[in-house]
Amino acid sequence: MSLVGKLEDLVLSDIFQILSIGRKSGTLVLKDEEGAAFVVFRNGIIVRAEASMVDGSIRDELLRSNIISEETMNRALDVKRDLPEKSIPEILHGLGYVSRDVLDSLAKKRIENIVYHLLKLNKGDFRFEVDKTGPDKRAGIDDTGWEFSDGLSVEYLLMESARIQDEEARKKASENNLLSKEDNGSGEEAWSDEILASGRRDISVLKAFTRELRLRTKNPDITALVLRFVSVFFRRGVLFLVGDDSLTGIAQFGLDMEEADEKVRGIRLPYLKSGFFSKLVTEMQIFRGEMERDEVTGLLVEQINGEWPHEVSIFPLTIEGNAAALLYCEGAPEDINETESVEILVNYTGIALEKALLKRRLRMQRGEGGN
């Protein structure tokens, strides 16, 4: 069984989500006029990716970071001539030169970078081979990298790509002095501190948010948008995906620590061990006040490098009657109206995500009906 087509007919983000929802295992090969790439899935999780059209490789990063020497690399290249099916990272690990933890860390960053670039593709061919879970030689890529055993979820990668894209767009707009009181022409509502400071700040933000939300159609775009607007009201915050037994950090704002985004993405909170978080996920009610102290809430505070907060605000983001995410915020606004406005904002986000999910399902059904 295989999935074959053109990116002009089915965008890559939808392909990723189809494979994720179906918990598919296999290899997706992509080709366009600039080169080729492959992405390996195991049970709907991405564990490996390489692309000829994306600069660099894990091998290059090992050298650049002085993790290995040129001499060691040459030894690995000699071995590869005898074992062409092995990648350079696999050979280096097998020879004992590089640990699995180091390679996992580099593979994670490489997957994030490749997926970000691949999502920009709007034309080309794709082919997914079910149960073929190794690098595909048809991609024509010599060094096939390293398999990250923990893998990365499609939801996280789409969210991360949208966050980077959003940051780049804002940086570009700022550099070109486009953040003004007028529409900047990109479809996003330009709003400034002066606008937010005039009258009811929360109403101004809600108006800007709802206008911009209408332009967003993809899940990661929507969630990146809500974080940007919530950061107007709160000092710092973290967005967690709700899994079967854990909360997984996917994005943040305002955390004052090195590599904050990467550290947040490494947070895993076993919420079933916490009566406090379990109740939030089950009852899906907004919480404002001091958290109950337990092992899991203590782990959260430790992971985000902070002192125990006297007051937090936690907003459940519900989709189809279930808590899909929790938005944890500190530094609550003094005006209670602003907290209520964030609640409305989060509710709008849930509705928009449900709408996007419904559209995707309809597209999938039409595609299945055409086979």
pLDDT in tens, 77-126: 999 999 988 899 999 999 999 999 999 999 999 999 999 999 999 899 99
Q: Phi, psi at residue 153, to the nearest 5°?
A: -75, 150
What is the model's pLDDT at position 334?
Answer: 63
For residue 179, the model assigns a pLDDT of 47
pLDDT of residue 329: 92
Per-residue model confidence as pLDDT tens digits over 291-302? 999 999 999 999
Domain residue spans of the chain: 2-150, 156-363
Does residue 211 surpass a pLDDT of 70?
no
Question: Which pLDDT score, from 0 to 100, does residue 75 have?
Answer: 94
The pTM of the full predicted model, rounded to 2 decimals, is 0.56
For the stretch 312-365, pLDDT in tens is: 999 998 887 888 889 999 987 665 556 666 777 777 776 666 666 656 666 666
What is the structure's pLDDT at 18?
86
Q: Would the pLDDT of 269 be above 70?
A: yes
On the 0-12 / 13-18 / 19+ scale of CB atoms within 10 A, 320 is exposed
Pairing of strands 45-51, 26-32: unpaired
The pLDDT of residue 212 is 58
In three-state form (DSSP H/G/I as H, E/B as E, the rest C), the secondary structure along the chain is CEEEEECCCCCHHHHHHHHHHCCCCEEEEEEECCEEEEEEEECCEEEEEEECCCCCCHHHHHHHCCCCCHHHHHHHHHHHHHCCCCCHHHHHHHCCCCCHHHHHHHHHHHHHHHHHHHCCCCCCEEEEEECCCCCCHHHCCCCCCCCCCCCEEHHHHHHHHHHHHHHHHHHHHHHCCCCCCCCCCCCCCCCCHHHHHCCCHHHHHHHHHHHHHCCCCCHHHHHHHHHHHHCCCCCEEEEEEECCCCEEEEEEECCCCCCHHHHHHCCEECHHHCHHHHHHHHHCCCEEECCCCCHHHHHHHHHCCCCCCCCEEEEEEEECCEEEEEEEEECCCCCHHHHHHHHHHHHHHHHHHHHHHHHHHHHHHHHHHCC
* Per-residue pLDDT reduced to its tens digit, 31-76: 998 899 999 999 889 999 999 989 989 999 999 999 999 999 999 9
Query: Which of 263, 258, 219 is CA-nearest to residue 238?
Result: 263
Comparing C-alpha atoms, which of 247, 371, 254, 264 is closest to residue 317?
247
* 87 CA to centre of own chain: 27
Q: What is the pLDDT of residue 353?
A: 66
Least confident of 58-67, 139-148, 245-254, 358-367: 358-367
Is the pLDDT confidence value at 138 over 90? Answer: no
pLDDT number for residue 170: 63
What was the pLDDT predicted at 203? 59
pLDDT of residue 186: 44
pLDDT for res 142: 74
What confidence score (pLDDT) does residue 158 get?
81
- Asked if pLDDT for residue 196 goes beyond 80, the answer is no
From CA 195, how far away is CA 188, in angstroms rounded? 15
Which pLDDT does position 218 carry in this prediction?
Answer: 57
Q: What is the pLDDT of residue 202?
A: 56
Hey, what CATH class is 156-363 in?
alpha beta
User: Given this model, what pLDDT does residue 208 score?
Assistant: 61
173-191 burial, b at 16+ Cβ within 10 Å, e below that, comes to beeeebeeeeeeeeebbbb
pLDDT digits (tens, 9 = 90+) for 157-190: 887 787 777 667 666 666 665 444 445 444 444 4
**Which pLDDT band holds residue 232 (cuts at 50, 70, 90)?**
confident
* Confidence (pLDDT) at 189: 44
Residue 170's nearest CA partner among 230, 224, 220 is 224
Q: Is-contact 19 128, C-beta < 8 A?
A: yes
User: What's the pLDDT score for residue 76?
Assistant: 93
